[in-house]
Amino acid sequence: MSVDAARKPLPAPDPDTARLWEGLRQGKLLLQHCDDCKHVQYYQQALCRACGSENLTHRPASGHGKVHSFSVVHRAPGPAFKADVPYAVLLVELQEGPRMISTYVGGNPAEVTFDMDVTLVCEQVSDEITLPRFRRAG
């Protein structure tokens, strides 16, 4: 097994995405709000996906959302995730509207249900990268 295959992939911040990862390091999940058409988007990019405007303002998300769908991974996608199974991958619908991929923390993956209320947890995984994960709300 190559060293590379055993290591979890980490995001490599680039000019499009740097602010998002910087925000997460400070415990904030930044969403982009379009000043022109009011569209709210995740993930970070230079243009509004709805109207093409470049007038985008970052605002921290409330961190509240619901589980729109999920799938509990029992067979890891490669050696890097073998020690983690079973884990629940979540498709979270944030209170502000956008959806995002994350994973469930702070409980047994078997307790995840559709439309369950979840809350953001910022988990530092390296000096540079903090990943947005979610736990059961309340």
Q: Among residues 81, 96, 116, 122, which is the contact residue for other proteins, using CB under 8 A?
A: 81
59: tokens are 């605002």
**Is 106 a residue that touches other proteins (CB under 8 A)?**
no
For residues 53 and 34, the answer to whether their CB atoms sit within 8 Å is yes
Q: Among residues 26, 55, 62, 71, which is the contact residue for other proteins, using CB under 8 A?
A: 71
**Is 75 a residue that touches other proteins (CB under 8 A)?**
yes
1-9, 25-33, 54-62 -> range binding other proteins (CB under 8 A): 1-9
Q: List CB contacts of 72: < 8 A, sequence separation 6 or more.
A: 86, 87, 88, 89, 109, 110, 112
Which residues in this chain contact other proteins in the complex, by CB under 8 A? Answer: 1, 5, 8-12, 17, 42-43, 68-81, 84, 87, 89, 91, 98-103, 114, 125, 129, 131
